[in-house]
Amino acid sequence: MTLRQVICVLVTTAVLCLPALAQETPLPRAKPEAVGLSSERLAEIAKTLKADIERGQIPGAVVAIARRGKLVYFEAFGYRDKAAGTPMTTDTIFNIASMTKPMTAVAALQLYEQGKLLMDDPVATYVGKFADMQVAVMDGKKESIVDKVPAMRKITIQDLFRHTSGLIYGGRGTTAVHKLYPDGSGQAAASMTGAEFLDRLSGLPLLHQPGTVWDYGFGLDVLGLVVESLTEQTLGGYLQDHVFKPLGMVDTHFLIPADKAQRYAKALSNDPTTGRPQSLQPLTQPLKFECGGGCAASTADDYMRFALMLMNKGKLGDARILARKTTEYMLSNQLGPDVKNLIGNADPTRADYGFGLGLAVRTTPGVVRVMGSVGDFSWPGASGTNWWADPQEDLAVVFMAHSPGPIRWHYRQVINALVNQAIID
């Protein structure tokens, strides 16, 4: 029996027997019509997902929708583990992959607020190995590296936040440079310690001159290790103390505890589009470092708290995570006209978005492939998870599913359409 249980037995005061504080404060609820959404139209979400689950397109999903600070839709569909017949529940834990990146960005921005790092600081200030980087020169077919030239300027902290460092994901291309890099964040963290990872990256040529091209890569992983260096904590430990606990994010971890492992969702064994075997990184086993680019697990409720904090300019309830001006800066487009934007190569549903610090930011009402408003912000996960927040509509949405194949792009568009068509005010 735990000490808390002993106290509850010995002491009759009911307050002492309540759950922990974070669990005592559920998100406020409201009926859809009270905040300008149609219950009838929201029902299309269930109709669509249930039909797709029946056809074997996804094993299951959790959808959370909040408007005007109130949770108005929070439903689970299908299976947490289809092979075992385990039903999905709203407290199911998912591998959120690159949805880790905005959380890492918030951690670094807290240090920025304290003057411990600055946007134009060279990364080499914190990781000396990055002092003298070189940029690859390839042949016409990009099949071989024919030369290396010095970087025209140092990689900066801002470059890490906004994917303009030239430190690209190896699995995102086929050039000679891509073949030198680890495939992605999770693969790197599973095979190397943080120190080994930094040694590896600092010894490779960059694909682009720093600051010239948005190209998806390891910026947030390096930034997470900078956070560790400055705080003398693991990234997960720092986030737990300064973001997760204050926001009541009780199920967000870099290593899922053993007593929560049964709540971890599983993907379908074969990709429904290609038929090929598929799996997700088992976050019930420790990685060699807590990668800030894609190694966390979370629930729909937890991530909704994070999204609402950002939409509320850094604050949720009584918890102030970032200052208002810092949050506004994070959610502003950081790509100037001189930066080539390849965001559509990373995610076609975010093509023609701008990019803030750790997440995509919409700069135009049209052109892009999904509905929204100028200023909406988001960044999804390769595991199939997705979220966005639209300050103009005071709307936040979290979609959790383990659908890591190409079908994830389908659901990013479908859920966006189903939610936005339900707005009636």
Total count of residues recorded for the chain: 425
Phi-psi region of 362 (alpha: psi -120 to 50; beta: other; left: phi over 0): beta
Please report the pLDDT score of residue 25 as a whole number: 84
Superfamily (CATH) of domain 24-93+256-283+298-420: DD-peptidase/beta-lactamase superfamily (3.40.710.10)
Could you identify the residue written with the tokens 């800030």? Answer: 292
Would you state the structure tokens that stand for residue 40, as one six-digit string? Answer: 């009838």
Q: Residue 205 carries which DSSP code?
A: P
What dihedral angle (degrees, nearest 10) is formed by the CA atoms of 35, 323, 25, 92? 80
Residue 333 and residue 354: Cα distance in Å, rounded?
5
Please report the pLDDT score of residue 188 as a whole number: 98
Contact 311, 304 (CB under 8 A): no
Contact 421, 332 (CB under 8 A): no
Please report the pLDDT score of residue 3 as a whole number: 45
The tens place of each residue's pLDDT in the chain, 425 residues long, gives: 444 444 444 433 333 333 344 445 899 999 999 999 999 999 999 999 999 999 999 999 999 999 999 999 999 999 999 999 999 999 999 999 999 999 999 999 999 999 999 999 999 999 999 999 999 999 999 999 999 999 999 999 999 999 999 999 999 999 999 999 999 999 999 999 999 999 999 999 999 999 999 999 999 999 999 999 999 999 999 999 999 999 999 999 999 999 999 999 999 999 999 999 998 989 999 999 999 999 999 999 999 999 999 999 999 999 999 999 999 999 999 999 999 999 999 999 999 999 999 999 999 999 999 999 999 999 999 999 999 999 999 999 999 999 999 999 999 999 999 999 999 99
Could you identify the residue written with the tokens 């994917």? Answer: 163
Please name which of 39, 73, 101, 86 lies closest in space to residue 385, comparing C-alpha atoms.
101
Could you identify the residue written with the tokens 């993907």? Answer: 267
- Alpha carbon 299 to chain centroid distance? 12
Would you state the structure tokens that stand for residue 386, as one six-digit string? Answer: 């997705």
333-352 core/surface letters (b: 16 or more CB in 10 A; e: else) = bbbeeebebbbeebbebbbe
| 3-class SS string, the chain | CCHHHHHHHHCCCHHHHCCCHHHHCCCCECCHHHHCECHHHHHHHHHHHHHHHHCCCCCEEEEEEEECCEEEEEEEEEEEECCCCEECCCCCEEEEECCHHHHHHHHHHHHHHCCCCCCCCEHHHCCHHHCCCEEEEECCCCCCEEEEEECCCCCEHHHHHHCCCCCECHHHCCCCCHHHCCCCHHHHHHHCCHHHHHHHHHCCCECCCCCCEECCECHHHHHHHHHHHHHCCCHHHHHHHHHHHHHCCCCCECCCCHHHHHHECCCCCECCCCCCECCCCCCCCCCCCCCCCCCEEECHHHHHHHHHHHHCCCEECCEECCCHHHHHHHCCCCCCCCCEECHHHHCHHHCCCEECCCCEECCCCCCCCCCCCCCCEECCCCCCCEEEEECCCCEEEEEECCCCCCHHHHHHHHHHHHHHCCECC
Residue 108 and residue 230: Cα distance in Å, rounded?
10
Domain ranges of the chain: 24-93+256-283+298-420
Would you state the structure tokens that stand for residue 248, as one six-digit string? Answer: 């009541």
Give, in order, the Cα–Cα distances in Å from 95 to each of 9, 92, 234, 294: 37, 10, 19, 9
Please name which of 364, 359, 360 lies closest in space to residue 374, comparing C-alpha atoms.
364
Residue 420 and residue 425: Cα distance in Å, rounded?
11
Residue 404 and residue 408: Cα distance in Å, rounded?
6
